[in-house]
């Protein structure tokens, strides 16, 4: 039996199409993916991402434990800062990508819904020798992402916390519509302005906040956004999706996540693989590409060059902003340079594509 | 769910409207709703003879791609240029301006095995 978030009845009231995603009944779309996508790019949209997992790591070895289990350097964090990171297995394969929230003495880890149980068990299996307490508080939080250029104008009506000065990847505790909220300037859309709001998961409180946000955003034509547009938005931004672009068979270096992989910080799970990838070069790289023509490249399609199969597509979709088909895929490293011509096998045809720099849309 | 009278339906969520020996074919309102935003129709079979159940093209939506199957045997006589230019018409008006192809039906008997509106309604649980 799939779980429902506190917003389920509101999704139904907004005529959402509901799908089972990672064990939750989630809205995949309301008005239509393209309209929702453009609402976020042009104004502001609200995503229910309450299915994400929240773990807390407390105790005197909390930092050391996170340093062992994640690839980024959590010692650089100061209270109120957020860090994008990854957890790896010993062989360098990715367990999950995650956000690390620093409270000073303790940390909050935000993980993908589909990986909550796996991640928790993996962290538990690493806990020997560390004086830490790990708790899964995923059921305690509802999570709304409010993303787009009118997000500040919308939310500022509901809080005394000054939102404009908050830097990207910082958070603070405050009140939204009178409710205690973790206000985080983060997102998965590529929008420069966006917040993720962690609020109590009880239905009455969650629904109240949703309604207050929609009232505050009415003048900006605020819209609810489903998982479909969440995926097209993140792809335009060039962000990896766990299960598509990264998984236990990929390492962070070939995935282009070298910027969150800090081997100089000391030992961590998967470091040997990272070191060898950096020393020898990756055999393959995750590359962005734009397709010529109107057929979409999709997850699993094969990539060819010089008559040989050189990789496969991990994510592919129309880009509503570019009105072109875009995608990500692993290719042999020599074909990963922007400007390289590749071919993608779509059913019985080979379509032309060109490797490009990511992000596809937005800031460099 | 909109399931007009006067059309025949398939289990693959297509409809066909018969005028003389010409069958106009499209996807149902249910299908366009399930597919979501349609971004491209790939039909390269104009002029070809197809058998009932053959794929005559593919329909690309944002999230998925699926084949379109000929509801009757015959020759693909025409592909709707309006939906080629603007596939969103299929979402907006699946039984009208969003039609996809016209087929010169070679065996009118094929129509007997298609679903009535009532039978299609039962199929989709509407």
ipTM, 2 decimals? 0.87
Considering only the beta carbons, identify the residue of A17, A34, A294 that sits closest to B40.
A294
Task: Please write the tens of the pLDDT for every residue from B20-69.
Answer: 999 999 999 999 999 999 999 999 999 999 999 999 999 999 999 999 99
- Contact flag A295-B42 (C-beta cutoff 8 Å): yes
Which pLDDT score, from 0 to 100, does residue B6 have? 95
The residues, any chain, with a CB within 8 Å of residue B74's CB and separated by 6 or more, are: B23, B49, B50, B103, B104, B105, B106, B107
Phi-psi region of B113 (alpha: psi -120 to 50; beta: other; left: phi over 0): alpha
> What is the C-alpha separation between A293 and A324, in angstroms, rounded?
8
Considering only the beta carbons, identify the residue of B40, B58, B62 that sits closest to A317.
B62
Nearest CA in chain A to B64: A298
Which residues pair with residue A88 across a beta bridge?
A: A94
Which chain A residues touch B if contact means CB-CB below 8 Å? 17, 28-29, 32-35, 228, 231-232, 294-296, 298, 317-318, 347
- Length of chain A measured in residues: 364
**Residue of A39, A235, A318 to mutate, interface with B, max B Cβ within 10 Å:** A318
pTM of the predicted structure, to 2 decimals: 0.95
A129 neighbors A64 (Cβ within 8 angstroms): no
On chain A, the residues whose CB falls within 8 A of the CB of B58 are: 347
> Tokens standing for A363?
């800031």
B119 and A CB contact within 8 Å? no
Which candidate, A5, A44, A289, A56, places its Cα nearest to that of A187?
A44
- Contact flag A34-B62 (C-beta cutoff 8 Å): yes
Calculate how close chain A gets to B37, using CA atoms only, in Å: 6
Residue contacts between A and B (CB atoms, under 8 Å): 38
Which pLDDT score, from 0 to 100, does residue A364 have? 45
The residues, any chain, with a CB within 8 Å of residue A259's CB and separated by 6 or more, are: none
On chain B, the residues whose CB falls within 8 A of the CB of A34 are: 37, 62
C-alpha distance from residue A104 to each of A64, A74, A78, A79 (Å): 13, 11, 6, 5
> Tokens standing for A149?
């250029």
Q: Is the pLDDT of residue B126 over 80?
A: no
On chain B, the residues whose CB falls within 8 A of the CB of A29 are: 36
Which pLDDT score, from 0 to 100, does residue A362 have? 82
Rounded to a whole number of angstroms, the CA Rg of chain A reads 20
> Tokens standing for A105?
């003495």
B12 and A CB contact within 8 Å? no
On chain A, the residues whose CB falls within 8 A of the CB of B60 are: 294-296, 318
pLDDT in tens, chain A (364 residues): 799 999 999 999 999 999 999 999 999 999 999 999 999 999 999 999 999 999 999 999 999 999 999 999 999 999 999 999 999 999 999 999 999 999 999 999 999 999 999 999 999 999 999 999 999 999 999 999 999 999 999 999 999 999 999 999 999 999 999 999 999 999 999 999 999 999 999 999 999 999 999 999 999 999 999 999 999 999 999 999 999 999 999 999 999 999 999 999 999 999 999 999 999 999 999 999 999 999 999 999 999 999 999 999 999 999 999 999 999 999 999 999 999 999 999 988 999 999 999 999 986 4
CA A182, A188, A194 angle in degrees (round to 5)? 55
Considering only the beta carbons, identify the residue of A32, A228, A296 that sits closest to B65.
A296
Calculate how close chain B gets to A84, using CA atoms only, in Å: 27
A81 neighbors A72 (Cβ within 8 angstroms): no
B9 neighbors B31 (Cβ within 8 angstroms): no
Task: Please write the tens of the pLDDT for every residue from B88-119.
Answer: 999 999 999 999 999 999 999 999 999 999 99
């Amino acid at each position: 039996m799939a779980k429902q978030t506190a917003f389920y009845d509101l999704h139904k009231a907004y005529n959402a199409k509901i799908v089972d995603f990672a064990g939750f009944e989630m809205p995949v779309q309301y008005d239509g993916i393209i309209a929702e996508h453009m609402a976020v790019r042009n104004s502001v949209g609200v995503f229910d991402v309450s299915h994400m997992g929240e773990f807390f790591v407390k105790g005197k070895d909390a930092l050391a434990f996170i340093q062992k289990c994640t690839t980024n350097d959590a010692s650089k964090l100061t209270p109120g800062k957020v860090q994008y990171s990854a957890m790896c297995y010993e062989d360098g394969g990715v367990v999950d990508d995650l956000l690390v929230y620093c409270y000073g003495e303790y940390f909050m880890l935000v993980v993908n819904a589909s990986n909550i149980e796996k991640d928790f068990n993996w962290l538990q299996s690493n806990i020997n020798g560390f004086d830490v307490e790990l708790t899964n508080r995923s059921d305690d939080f509802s999570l709304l992402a409010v993303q787009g250029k009118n997000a500040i104008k919308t939310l500022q009506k509901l809080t005394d916390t000054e939102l404009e000065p908050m830097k990207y990847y910082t958070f603070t505790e405050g009140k939204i519509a009178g409710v205690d909220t973790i206000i985080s300037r983060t997102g998965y859309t590529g929008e420069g302005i966006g917040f993720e709001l962690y609020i109590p998961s009880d239905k009455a409180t969650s629904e109240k906040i949703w309604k207050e946000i929609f009232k505050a955003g009415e003048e900006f034509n605020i819209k609810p956004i489903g998982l479909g547009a969440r995926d097209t938005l993140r792809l335009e931004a060039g962000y990896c999706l766990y299960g598509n672009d990264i998984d236990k068979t990929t390492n962070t270096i070939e995935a282009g996540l070298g910027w969150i992989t800090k081997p100089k910080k000391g030992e961590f799970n998967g470091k040997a693989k990272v070191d060898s990838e950096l020393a020898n070069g990756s055999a393959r790289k995750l590359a962005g590409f734009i397709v010529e023509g109107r057929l979409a490249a999709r997850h699993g399609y094969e990539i060819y060059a010089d008559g040989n199969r050189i990789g496969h597509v991990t994510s592919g979709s129309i880009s509503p902003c570019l009105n072109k088909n875009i995608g990500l895929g692993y290719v042999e490293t020599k074909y990963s340079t922007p400007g390289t011509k590749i071919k993608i096998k779509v059913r019985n045809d080979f379509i032309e594509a060109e490797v490009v720099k990511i992000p596809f849309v937005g800031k460099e | 769910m909109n399931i007009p009278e006067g059309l025949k339906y398939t289990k693959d969520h297509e409809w066909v409207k018969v005028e003389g020996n010409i069958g106009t074919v499209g996807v149902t309102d249910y299908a366009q709703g399930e597919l979501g935003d349609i971004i491209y129709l790939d039909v390269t079979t104009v002029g070809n003879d197809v058998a009932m159940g053959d794929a005559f093209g593919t329909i690309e939506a944002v999230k998925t791609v699926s084949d379109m199957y000929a509801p009757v045997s015959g020759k693909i006589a025409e592909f709707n240029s309006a939906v080629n230019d603007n596939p969103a018409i299929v979402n907006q008006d699946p039984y009208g301006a969003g039609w996809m192809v016209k087929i010169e039906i070679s065996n009118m008997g094929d129509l007997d095995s298609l679903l009535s509106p009532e039978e299609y309604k039962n199929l989709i649980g509407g």
